Structure 1
Amino acid sequence: MQNDPDPQVPPKIFRQTDVLDPARAAAFQVALAQESTIAAGDVLPPFFHQLYFWAPQPPEQLGRDGHPRLAPGGLIPDLGLPRRMWAGGRLQFDRPLLAGIAAEKRSVLESSSCKQGRSGPLGFVTLRHEVWQQGVLCLSEWHDLVYREDPDPQAVRPVPPRARRDEEEQREIAFSSTLLFRYSALTFNGHRIHYDQDYARDVEGYDGLVVHGPLLAQHLMLLAQELMGPLADFSFRATAPLMHFEVAEFCCKGQDLWVRAPDGRQCMQAVARPRKTC
């Protein structure tokens, strides 16, 4: 069932404003075991806008998973499926965001649909975000979410894809429960799969705490920028969850990047395109 917005009706735009506090970005650098260098006026690394534009809700408006409960008239439609996952996204970088300066985020629902998958019904939602600063569009982001039913304990788990082993560059990164908690706090992400191990295991069927998909994408973007220079665009897709007790390998060959778990499964794949220079 397709529920795309009516093309004849202008999409409802949700607007948020925030001052891109350099202290928050510097704290994130420390959480990533980097030197704290960001000050007011500095260029923010790619994807650091995830630290801003919080939309806090009171406890009574939260769902069982810690996310804001879906409600009529909100940005995300209620598709009747309880489990939410960040499936992937695309980013187009037009101009660097600067720390310490006010910015506006404009969000619209681009599409929503329900389909029948091998493991049951699936809901797909794509949001489009624009971040403006000083009257200029700095980045556009397409944010893909998947919703699904609670897991059946008797069901056979799907086999995740195998990751490539032909990388030209590789970094090993470990994820502790402390790092996951800090990232949840810095992004104001209340999803319990990232900090409540009992909930993650007993309700949503994971083997441990789940490493945030955006956190994996963040590391891939930083690796891409390190190897390629400033990015023009970046796309990524989550293919299997990574647990907090696993040390992952972040790999790159050409413009292709991926995350490999210790057992060889692919957790994320991505493509980066560097900005052209004269």
Structure 2
Amino acid sequence: MPETRDDWSAWISREERRSDRLTPALAARWLATFDLPTSTEGALPQGIHFCLCTPDAPTAALGADGHPARDETPDSFFPPVPLPRRMWAASDVHFLAPIAIGASIERTSRIASITPKSGKSGEMVFVEVAHETRADGTLAVRETQTLVYREAAATDAPLQPPPRGEHRFGAGEWQSHRALEPGEPLLFRFSALTFNSHRIHYDLPYARGIERYRGLVVHGPLMASLLLQLAGPLSRFSFRAVSPAIAGEPLHLVVREDGGALTLGAFAEDGRQIVSAEGSR
């Protein structure tokens, strides 16, 4: 693989523009996915931007994992990093204006940085993407998203995350707590809303046999959306993936606030941290 970020220098500052509309039908599907009250007008809760201006690569242009394939052509927005495993590692989001049902959406995305790293888990490449989402011409969301590309796991590697331990999560130190078990229908609907065909979210034999997860993996932005709903409107929200969440297993979402600064998180039943997050009003 290339050893320095200069090998992908042509991709730095590469831009992609997409347009969309928050139609009443999309709003209804999003609200139904999260079991939220139906609405035909007004602004939707924060997190709807994850489902706007989604990728639309043809099916024939998808890679073996379900993500759009990357190559050397000018049409490839993402650099052709030769590492096969892709994860949404983190996001830093600034909410600047609400997004109302019926709004016309324009999103500009720019490759901000490409950083190779080596660690105990092998070679990795971190790609930062800066997004600006406008609703009816008003800047509504500014987000920096961090993706990580990794080496493939060995075919006999232990399944991740490890089996659940004997400890149990305690919510005593948190002010708000919601427990749920995200199941296959929720993962399917969120994949459909985001046009995300990464097979770890719906193809159990692939998730286990190829990417070596213990089960279907819950989407990072799905958990981020649930945390935003628990916390209420924020001006800034950042989250980082710590460990995979597995479909059908208990998930604990928690929030603690001190003077307008919020600490948020998602935890497994045995206390393993899944998502680390913070925010401000």
Fold similarity call, TM over 0.5: yes
1:108-257 → structure 2 map (5 Å cutoff) = 108-153=110-155, 166-225=173-232, 230-254=233-257, 255-257=262-264
Between the aligned partners of 1:216 and 1:144, the Cα distance in structure 2 is 16
**Structure 1 gaps, min length 5:** none
TM-score, normalisation: structure 1: 0.89
Between the aligned partners of 2:178 and 2:18, the Cα distance in structure 1 is 35
Higher mean displacement: 15-24 or 69-78 = 69-78
Matched residue type, 1:77: P
1:250-265 → structure 2 map (5 Å cutoff) = 250-254=253-257, 255-265=262-272
SS of match in other structure, 1:123: strand
State the Cα deviation string for residues 222-276 of structure 1 (Å, max 9, x = none): 1111xxxx311100001000000211010111110000101210000100101xx
Between the aligned partners of 1:252 and 1:218, the Cα distance in structure 2 is 13
SS of match in other structure, 1:243: coil
Q: Which residue is 1:266 aligned to?
A: 273
Contact 1:132/1:139 (<8 A) preserved: yes
Contact 2:155/2:210 (<8 A) preserved: no
SS of match in other structure, 1:150: coil
Judging changes above 3 Å, is the alpha-carbon distance between structure 1 residues 158 and 30 closer, same or farther for their aligned structure 2 residues?
A: closer
Deviation of the 1:142 alpha carbon? 0.6
SS of match in other structure, 2:100: coil
The runs of at least 4 aligned residues of structure 1 exceeding 4 Å deviation read 4-7, 153-160, 162-165
Judging changes above 3 Å, is the alpha-carbon distance between structure 1 residues 190 and 10 closer, same or farther for their aligned structure 2 residues?
A: closer
RMSD (CA atoms):
2.3
Between the aligned partners of 1:6 and 1:71, the Cα distance in structure 2 is 14
Deviation of the 1:174 alpha carbon? 1.4
SS of match in other structure, 1:88: strand
Judging changes above 3 Å, is the alpha-carbon distance between structure 1 residues 158 and 114 closer, same or farther for their aligned structure 2 residues?
A: farther
Q: Which residue is 1:54 aligned to?
A: 54
Between the aligned partners of 2:176 and 2:254, the Cα distance in structure 1 is 6
Contact 2:92/2:143 (<8 A) preserved: yes
State the Cα deviation string for residues 9-67 of structure 1 (Å, max 9, x = none): 98232111111112212212112122222x24x11211201222133222221100111
Matched residue type, 1:171: R
Judging changes above 3 Å, is the alpha-carbon distance between structure 1 residues 29 and 116 closer, same or farther for their aligned structure 2 residues?
A: same
Judging changes above 3 Å, is the alpha-carbon distance between structure 1 residues 28 and 264 closer, same or farther for their aligned structure 2 residues?
A: same
Between the aligned partners of 1:203 and 1:119, the Cα distance in structure 2 is 17
Between the aligned partners of 2:160 and 2:22, the Cα distance in structure 1 is 40
Between the aligned partners of 1:110 and 1:164, the Cα distance in structure 2 is 39
State the Cα deviation string for residues 129-157 of structure 1 (Å, max 9, x = none): 00112322111011111111111255567
Between the aligned partners of 1:62 and 1:164, the Cα distance in structure 2 is 42
TM-score, normalisation: structure 2: 0.88
1:12-161 → structure 2 map (5 Å cutoff) = 12-37=14-39, 39-40=40-41, 42-72=42-72, 73=74, 74-153=76-155
Between the aligned partners of 2:214 and 2:247, the Cα distance in structure 1 is 9
Between the aligned partners of 2:116 and 2:214, the Cα distance in structure 1 is 27
Matched residue type, 1:87: A
In the alignment of these two chains, the number of paired residues is 266
State the Cα deviation string for residues 161-211 of structure 1 (Å, max 9, x = none): x98852122100211111101110111001000000000000000011000
Deviation of the 1:2 alpha carbon? 4.7
Matched residue type, 2:69: R
Judging changes above 3 Å, is the alpha-carbon distance between structure 1 residues 201 and 12 closer, same or farther for their aligned structure 2 residues?
A: same
Contact 2:112/2:129 (<8 A) preserved: yes
Higher mean displacement: 129-138 or 105-114 = 129-138
Between the aligned partners of 1:54 and 1:168, the Cα distance in structure 2 is 34
